[in-house]
Amino acid sequence: MDLSKILQENRIVIDVQSISKREVIAELVNTAIASGIEMDMDDTVNSFMERETLGSTGIGLGVAIPHIRIESIDHCLVVFGKSNGGVEYAAIDNKPVHLFFMIFGPLHEERQENYLKLMAAISKALRQSDVRDSLVAMDSSNQVLEFFANRAD
């Protein structure tokens, strides 16, 4: 799956300011709303936090992939965030998270396959230390977009 076709410049936060899990989720949801995705801020943040009670989406190695499915969209959307200082996120390795790929999937069952493929593609890419290191070093949304465009299969 080509992440460069899913990411958009107005859905990239290159310097996340939040320092807690709830705050970073709210900051990234706010970015999604500002980019034109229609949703209720409080309900969406609460949905992400409810998902976190099932198990942390902090997958380790400085990465979190918070994800939910919502009714107001008909295709997968991603908000990317990078925290220079790291966020205490209760990741599985108990280390701070620097890279966030927030996924919004459609609620419709027939579109679930793309949602699962997107999560798998992001997870696979971020298992590679060169990908993580490159993303952490970037200081503009254009760099992030170009990075994934150059990695497209």
Per residue in 9-40, pLDDT tens? 999 999 999 999 999 999 999 999 999 999 99
Evaluate if residue 98 carries a pLDDT over 60.
yes
Place of tokens 């998270």: 97
Is 67 a residue of the active site?
A: yes
Listed by start position, the domains of the chain span 3-151
Q: What is the percentage of the chain residues whose pLDDT exceeds 90? A: 80
The one catalytic residue in 67, 75, 98, 108 is 67
Name the β-bridge partners of 105.
69
DSSP labels for the chain? --GGGT--GGGEESS----BHHHHHHHHHHHHHHTT----HHHHHHHHHHHHHTS-SEEETTEE--EEEETT-SS-EEEEEEEEEEEB---TT---EEEEEEEEEES-GGGHHHHHHHHHHHHHHHTSHHHHHHHHH--SHHHHHHHHHHH--
Q: Binning pLDDT at 50, 70 and 90, where does residue 109 land?
A: low
Q: Is the pTM of this model over 0.85?
A: yes
On the question of pLDDT at 46 being above 80, the answer is yes
Region 70-91: mean pLDDT is: 93
CATH topology of domain 3-151: Mannitol-specific EII; Chain A (3.40.930)
